Chains A and B, each alone.
Chain A
Amino acid sequence: MTSEAADPTEAVGTIAPAADPGFLQRHGATIEYILIPGAALAGALVVFGIFVAMFGKNPLDLYFYMYYGAFGTWFSWQNTLTRAAPLILTALCTALPAQLGMVIIGGEGALLVGALSATSAALLLQSMPPLIVQIAMVIAGVIGGGLWIMLAGALRQYRGVNETISSLLLVYIGLAILNHLVEGAMRDPASLNKPSTREIGAANMIGSIPGTDVHWGLVFGLIAAIAAYILIYHTVFGFAARVAGGNIRAAKIVGLGVSKLILTICFLAGGAAGLAGMVEVAAVQGRTNANLAAGYGFTGILVAFLARQNPLAIIPVAILLGGISASGGLLQRRLGLPDASVLVLQGIIFVFVLASDALYGRIGFLKGKS
């Protein structure tokens, strides 16, 4: 991974200008968007290597097991992709509002509420054919999560409440509601040690993509990311959103309905995270319980920032971070690192990525002569 990030520097720096002098001027910005986060990632891996070396572990072993646990075998690839699916969806929860200049960090809450709504829908419609139940679960998950984040957006628009703080508070409130229902009204009396709702039933699970152990949630994620990309960059609505994100006063002057934009974008953002909750229920857990609060919502924030809030870039970044979390188990078994090491690495990456924001437009050889 380190060499991957270092190589393009040389290739671009030496070969490209000679071959085509205009190349850098036309593609400089795109190259920057790949080069700088790549370098930040490499820097973070080096610092993490030093960190584990302080605890007497060999950093080269670390890199090897990370690669092996994430992308080394077909088994680890499947594990990685399974984890990438919810990350794509929760990253959209941060990336979509970011187009409007809003910082939403409550994807975890929307995921939990989405999971709860999807489970409720499945339990209510148990006598229906599986396809109907699954469609109802998708709709319920999207609406549940969507309304949850729309609440944060509405509070920002109509009451001036800071959306970063309110969306995070809503995570804790969502978790409390989930625990309350799972241990009370919706509890399956048979779940003794781990209070859970009743199972949605094996027939209603969405299953795996044929030939793999990767569930259909990955396809949901890919479709959602591509749809979000088209919405933001190729529709009038997305253009309006980006105008409002760039300059809210200009948007109001030209008569854009800013309230409607904020509410719609927040609904879609929360809907994506709610869909992640539905996927976790319908493809992995089969029921709702506290296991769902596995931190996908928080890692999704990192994915969105690393992808620079671009819905398409979210896909590879989510796979990369899915890989890092997939390798956590191997790091624990082979190197004896605590399970929190993945969190530490994610934190270091996040810090490096944000610090690297200072580099844009400052790399000498990428500056055009215009």
Chain B
Amino acid sequence: MADGSIGLWTVPLAVLGGAIRVSTPFLFVSLGECITERSGRINLGLEGTLVMGAMSAYGISYLTGSPWLGVLAAGITGALLGALHAGICSLPRVNDVAVGIALMLFGTGLAFYLGKPLIEPTAPRLPAIDFGWWSDIPQVRAALRVNALFLIGIALAPILYWAFRTTRWGLLIRTAGESSDAARAMGHSVLLIRLRATMVGGFLAGIGGSFLSLFYPGSWNEGLSSGQGITAVALVIFARWDPLLCLWASLAFGGAAALGPALQSVGVTSGYHLFNAAPYILTLAIMIITCSPKRTLTGAPAELSITR
């Protein structure tokens, strides 16, 4: 009975489920990128970090049998890639946008190379927490099966918001991002602050990748991420470098990304590819609406090369 009676409600339910399920990688990458960009540097390489994170999480989970070790490995891989980005960027006259593009290609290539033997085997996945136990409609239950990483991500957004505003650590990052001269005058190494911020950003993006391979879609293949990383980087820009807005934007994006598969499940298959491109179209549309050639964006870190 349940199946037939909800009919077209499947679509909004799937979009809701998608907002919960699909948004997690967006959330982690955008929060990570938020930290990096607040320190005055942009890391476009998080697309590569995401794919490397997905691959290493799957590999470690397969080898050790523990998905949580996989998540940790993904984070460490991401932090290492972040350190590489920050290390190259700290050389004189090196452009951080270009380094990001290079690491995007490098990370993706390396993940495909190392991940070749992982396409076949099945690794243990992350467990789901069932929040839909009260309902006997299977679609509702499916939509509300969430992963602990999602909850961690949701908790992380307000924590970061608070940390940026009130902690010494947050102040240092913001100082490096607003005026590197001021940070230097205070006796801090701007390069060191940015190194740490990029590594933390990479760590979070790597964890976002682990979610892709260990929970949803929950396998490793070369088409796993197509632009989620770069979309999340763009998302930070229109979230105005605010972690709380990153959370809402990620949820909206997850919903948009779930639209294609949701419509397909009720038999609307004609515009499948176009609906799948919805997050990219949405990103572009929001950037067109919110950007302006006349002024720099409010909330933009002054040292950020991309908004200067």
**Residues of A in contact with B (beta carbons under 8 Å apart):** 103, 105, 155, 157-162, 164-166, 168-173, 175-177, 179-180, 183-184, 298, 301-302, 305, 338, 340-348, 350-351, 353-355, 357-358, 360
Taken together as a complex, chains A and B put the C-alpha atoms of A180 and B281 apart, in Å, by: 15
Query: Cβ of A157: which chain B residues have Cβ within 8 Å of it?
Result: 293
In the complex, the answer to whether A169 meets B234 with C-beta atoms within 8 Å is yes
Query: Cβ of B112: which chain A residues have Cβ within 8 Å of it?
Result: 338, 340, 343
Nearest Cβ on chain A to B223's Cβ, whole angstroms? 11
Chain B, residue nearest A174 (CB): B277
In the complex, the answer to whether B271 meets A180 with C-beta atoms within 8 Å is yes
Nearest Cβ on chain B to A186's Cβ, whole angstroms? 13
Task: Indicate which residue in B274, B283, B288 contacts A180 across the interface (CB closer than 8 Å).
Answer: B274
Q: Which stretch in B57-65, B88-96, B145-153, B207-215 binds the other chain? A: B88-96
In the complex, the answer to whether B113 meets A170 with C-beta atoms within 8 Å is no
5 A-B residue pairs with CB within 8 Å: A159-B292, A159-B293, A169-B227, A338-B116, A350-B102
Taken together as a complex, chains A and B put the C-alpha atoms of A75 and B230 apart, in Å, by: 39
Scan residues 100-120 of chain B and give those whose CB is less than 8 A from a CB of chain A.
Answer: 101-103, 105-110, 112-113, 116
| Contact A357 B93, CB 8 Å, known A301-B101, A305-B98, A347-B107 | yes
Taken together as a complex, chains A and B put the C-alpha atoms of A199 and B229 apart, in Å, by: 36
Chain A contact residues, majority secondary structure: helix
Query: Cβ of B292: which chain A residues have Cβ within 8 Å of it?
Result: 159-160
In the complex, the answer to whether B98 meets A183 with C-beta atoms within 8 Å is no
Nearest Cβ on chain A to B229's Cβ, whole angstroms? 10
| Contact A347 B277, CB 8 Å, known A166-B287, A184-B270, A358-B91 | no
Taken together as a complex, chains A and B put the C-alpha atoms of A344 and B48 apart, in Å, by: 12
Chain A, residue nearest B108 (CB): A343
Nearest Cβ on chain B to A237's Cβ, whole angstroms? 23
**Residues of B in contact with A (beta carbons under 8 Å apart):** 44, 48, 84, 88, 91-95, 97-99, 101-103, 105-110, 112-113, 116, 226-227, 230-231, 233-234, 237, 270-274, 276-277, 280-281, 283-284, 287-288, 291-294, 306-307
Interface centre among A158, A347, A355 (most CB of B within 10 A): A347
In the complex, the answer to whether A358 meets B92 with C-beta atoms within 8 Å is yes
In the complex, the answer to whether A357 meets B306 with C-beta atoms within 8 Å is no
Taken together as a complex, chains A and B put the C-alpha atoms of A354 and B48 apart, in Å, by: 17
In the complex, the answer to whether B277 meets A348 with C-beta atoms within 8 Å is no
Q: A177-B274, A344-B110, A354-B95 provided; 14 other pairs, C-beta below 8 A?
A: A155-B287, A157-B293, A159-B288, A160-B292, A172-B280, A173-B280, A179-B273, A180-B274, A183-B273, A344-B113, A347-B107, A351-B99, A351-B103, A354-B94
In the complex, the answer to whether A160 meets B234 with C-beta atoms within 8 Å is no
Task: Indicate which residue in B98, B106, B277, B288 contacts A173 across the interface (CB closer than 8 Å).
Answer: B277
| Contact A340 B230, CB 8 Å, known A164-B97, A176-B276 | no
Task: Indicate which residue in A173, A298, A345, A354 contacts B284 across the interface (CB closer than 8 Å).
Answer: A173
Nearest Cβ on chain A to B31's Cβ, whole angstroms? 18
Taken together as a complex, chains A and B put the C-alpha atoms of A158 and B113 apart, in Å, by: 41
In the complex, the answer to whether B105 meets A347 with C-beta atoms within 8 Å is yes
Chain B, residue nearest A305 (CB): B98
In the complex, the answer to whether A355 meets B234 with C-beta atoms within 8 Å is no
In the complex, the answer to whether A165 meets B102 with C-beta atoms within 8 Å is no
In the complex, the answer to whether A302 meets B105 with C-beta atoms within 8 Å is yes
Task: Indicate which residue in A162, A298, A338, A345 contacts B237 across the interface (CB closer than 8 Å).
Answer: A162
Nearest Cβ on chain B to A86's Cβ, whole angstroms? 17
Nearest Cβ on chain B to A291's Cβ, whole angstroms? 15
Nearest Cβ on chain B to A353's Cβ, whole angstroms? 8
Taken together as a complex, chains A and B put the C-alpha atoms of A361 and B113 apart, in Å, by: 36
Task: Indicate which residue in A155, A159, A177, A351 contacts B106 across the interface (CB closer than 8 Å).
Answer: A351
Query: Cβ of B231: which chain A residues have Cβ within 8 Å of it?
Result: 169
In the complex, the answer to whether B94 meets A160 with C-beta atoms within 8 Å is no
Nearest Cβ on chain A to B5's Cβ, whole angstroms? 32
Taken together as a complex, chains A and B put the C-alpha atoms of A298 and B237 apart, in Å, by: 24
Taken together as a complex, chains A and B put the C-alpha atoms of A338 and B222 apart, in Å, by: 13
Nearest Cβ on chain B to A87's Cβ, whole angstroms? 14
Chain B, residue nearest A151 (CB): B284
Taken together as a complex, chains A and B put the C-alpha atoms of A358 and B283 apart, in Å, by: 34
Task: Indicate which residue in B227, B271, B272 contacts A172 across the interface (CB closer than 8 Å).
Answer: B227
Task: Indicate which residue in B95, B106, B234 contacts A165 across the interface (CB closer than 8 Å).
Answer: B234
Please give me the 7 A-B residue pairs with the lowest Cβ-Cβ distance, nearest first. A347-B106, A343-B109, A176-B277, A340-B112, A350-B102, A358-B91, A160-B293
In the complex, the answer to whether B230 meets A169 with C-beta atoms within 8 Å is yes
Nearest Cβ on chain B to A66's Cβ, whole angstroms? 16
Taken together as a complex, chains A and B put the C-alpha atoms of A360 and B158 apart, in Å, by: 44
Query: Cβ of A160: which chain B residues have Cβ within 8 Å of it?
Result: 291-294
Taken together as a complex, chains A and B put the C-alpha atoms of A103 and B237 apart, in Å, by: 17
Taken together as a complex, chains A and B put the C-alpha atoms of A155 and B234 apart, in Å, by: 14
Taken together as a complex, chains A and B put the C-alpha atoms of A168 and B283 apart, in Å, by: 11
Chain B, residue nearest A344 (CB): B109
Query: Cβ of A105: which chain B residues have Cβ within 8 Å of it?
Result: 101
In the complex, the answer to whether B106 meets A348 with C-beta atoms within 8 Å is yes
Taken together as a complex, chains A and B put the C-alpha atoms of A169 and B102 apart, in Å, by: 17
Interface centre among A176, A301, A341, A360 (most CB of B within 10 A): A176
Taken together as a complex, chains A and B put the C-alpha atoms of A305 and B110 apart, in Å, by: 20
Chain B, residue nearest A171 (CB): B227
Taken together as a complex, chains A and B put the C-alpha atoms of A301 and B101 apart, in Å, by: 9
In the complex, the answer to whether A180 meets B105 with C-beta atoms within 8 Å is no
Task: Indicate which residue in B109, B272, B284 contacts A166 across the interface (CB closer than 8 Å).
Answer: B284
Nearest Cβ on chain B to A72's Cβ, whole angstroms? 24
Nearest Cβ on chain A to B221's Cβ, whole angstroms? 13
Task: Indicate which residue in B92, B109, B233 contacts A346 across the interface (CB closer than 8 Å).
Answer: B109
Nearest Cβ on chain A to B275's Cβ, whole angstroms? 9
In the complex, the answer to whether A158 meets B293 with C-beta atoms within 8 Å is yes
Nearest Cβ on chain B to A90's Cβ, whole angstroms? 14
In the complex, the answer to whether B95 meets A176 with C-beta atoms within 8 Å is no
In the complex, the answer to whether A173 meets B113 with C-beta atoms within 8 Å is no
| Contact A103 B97, CB 8 Å, known A169-B283, A343-B108, A347-B107 | yes
In the complex, the answer to whether A351 meets B227 with C-beta atoms within 8 Å is no
